Amino acid sequence: MEKNAKIYVAGHRGMVGSALVRRLNQLGYRNIITRSSSELDLRNQQQVFAFFEAEKPDYVFLSAAKVGGINANNIYRADFLYDNLMIESNTIHAAYVNKVKKLLFLGSSCIYPRMAPQPLKESYLLTGTLEYTNEPYAIAKIAGIKLCENYRLQYGCNFISVMPTNLYGPNDNYDLAKSHVLPALLRKIHTAKIKNIPIVEVWGSGTPLREFLHVDDLSDACLFLMEHYNERELVNIGTGTDLPIKDLALLIMQVAKYKGEIKFDSTKPDGTPRKLMDVTKLMTLGWKPKISLEEGIRMVYSEVEQMKFSD
Ligand code: GFB
C-alpha cells in the first residue's frame, strides 16, 4: 500500500479497527478514512453505496462486525446473523463496484467445525457441523469468506480473508453479559481483589481450550497480509498455542495478585471444546506474534486497574 493511499478502516471504534488505525498511523499512512456507525450504518445498502461512490477508497479493512462472547452469540442470534450478513454484503459489493484495489475481510476461528481435528487447518472450512452457540455468527462469517472468494473468481477482485483466533487488548468489551472470557475474567478478578471477595465465578467447566492473541499482533499480521498475500484461500492468524480456561483464570489471578478461589458455574455453556489455529501458512509467509500471553495480560490489566466498574 502506498503511504498516501486512501484506506478505509470499517469499524474503527472497535477493538480490531482501532488497533488497525493505530498501526497504520505508526507506519506513516496518512490518508485513513473512518466513519462511526451513527455516521454510516453499514447494514444500510444505500448509505454504503453512497459512501463508497463519494470516497472511492483504494484499500479496505473490513473489521466492522457485531461481535461478542459465548453468551451474546447465543442470545442475540438473529442480530449476529442479520447484522453481519448485511455489513459484509454491502461493503464487499460496494468495494467491487467502486474498484477497490484490495480488501481484507476479518472472520473468526469459530467458522471451523466444532469437532474438527486440531490444530485447525484452513482446509477444514465446511467439513462438518458448527458449534451451535455461535452458529449464526459463524455462518455470517463463512458467507463473508465466500463473498471474497467468489468476487475474486468471477470479477477478479483482490479480496482476501483472514481468520483471527480469540482476541484481547485495548478497547475490548467489559460488559459481563456480552464480553469474551478474557476481559470478563480480568474484570471479575480485579473487582474481587479490590473488594476482598474470596471467590471468583468462572463459567462452564474450565476445561475448554482457547488460544489468545493480542490485538496489536493481529493488526500487525493484517498489515503484513495486506502487503504480501493475494490468494483465494483464507489465512489463520494466531499463536499456535492454547490453554484451558481454568489456567487462563489462574494466570490472570497471578498477574492481578489475587489470592481467592475459583468456583465453576456449570449452568453456563462451555462452547467448542477446543479451537487451536494451525498457523503454519502465516508463519511460512514470514510473520509471527511478538506479545506473549502473560505480557499481554499484564498490559491489559494495567488498563483495567484504571477503569471504574459498577459491580
Ligand atoms: O470467550 P468466550 O465468551 O467465547 O468463552 P468462545 C470462552 C470460554 O470461556 C467458554 C468460558 O468455555 C466460556 O464458558 N468462560 C468462563 C467465560 N468464564 C467466562 C466469563 O465470565 N465470560 C465468558 N464470556 N466466558 C466466541 C464465539 O466463542 O469466541 C464467537 O461465541 C467468536 O463467535 C469468539 O468466535 C472469538 O471462544 O467460546
pLDDT, tens digit, for every residue of 189-234?
999 999 999 999 999 999 999 999 999 999 999 999 999 999 999 9
Q: Are the beta carbons of 41 and 47 closer than 8 angstroms? A: yes
C-alpha dihedral, 145 to 146 to 148 to 150, nearest 10°? 160
Ligand 1 atom having least distance to the Cα of 272: 38
Is residue 137 annotated as a catalytic residue, yes or no? yes
- pLDDT, the chain, mean: 98
Is residue 237's pLDDT more than 90? yes
Residues 80-92: pLDDT tens digits? Answer: 999 999 999 999 9
Residue 181 beta carbon below 6 angstroms from any ligand 1 atom:
yes
Q: Is the distance from the beta carbon of residue 179 to the nearest atom of ligand 1 less than 6 Å? A: yes
The pTM is what?
Answer: 0.98
Distance 31 CA to ligand 1 centre (A): 36
**Banded pLDDT at 310 (limits 50, 70, 90):** confident
Q: What is the pLDDT at residue 274?
A: 97
What confidence score (pLDDT) does residue 311 get?
82
CA angle 107, 108, 110 (to 5 degrees): 135
Residue 260's closest CA among 249, 268, 270?
A: 249
Q: Which residue has the cell 463519494?
A: 54
Whether 1 shows a pLDDT value over 90: the answer reads yes
Give, for ligand 1, the residue of 71, 180, 189, 212 to mutate: max count of ligand atoms closer than 8 Å to Cβ.
180
Is-contact 289 239, C-beta < 8 A? yes
Q: What is the per-residue pLDDT for 110? A: 97
Is pLDDT of 124 > 90? yes
- Please identify which of the residues 112, 137, 229, 258 carries the catalytic annotation: 137
154, with CB counted inside 10 A (0-12, 13-18, 19+), is: exposed
Percent of the chain predicted with pLDDT > 70: 100
Q: Residue 230: what pLDDT?
A: 98
Q: Tell me how far CA of residue 105 lies from CA of 65, 88, 114, 164, 298, in angstroms.
A: 10, 9, 22, 11, 29
* pLDDT of res. 51: 98
Could you give the 3-state DSSP secondary structure of residue 5? coil
137 lines ligand 1 (CB under 6 A): yes
The answer to whether residue 75 scores a pLDDT higher than 90 is yes
277 lines ligand 1 (CB under 6 A): no
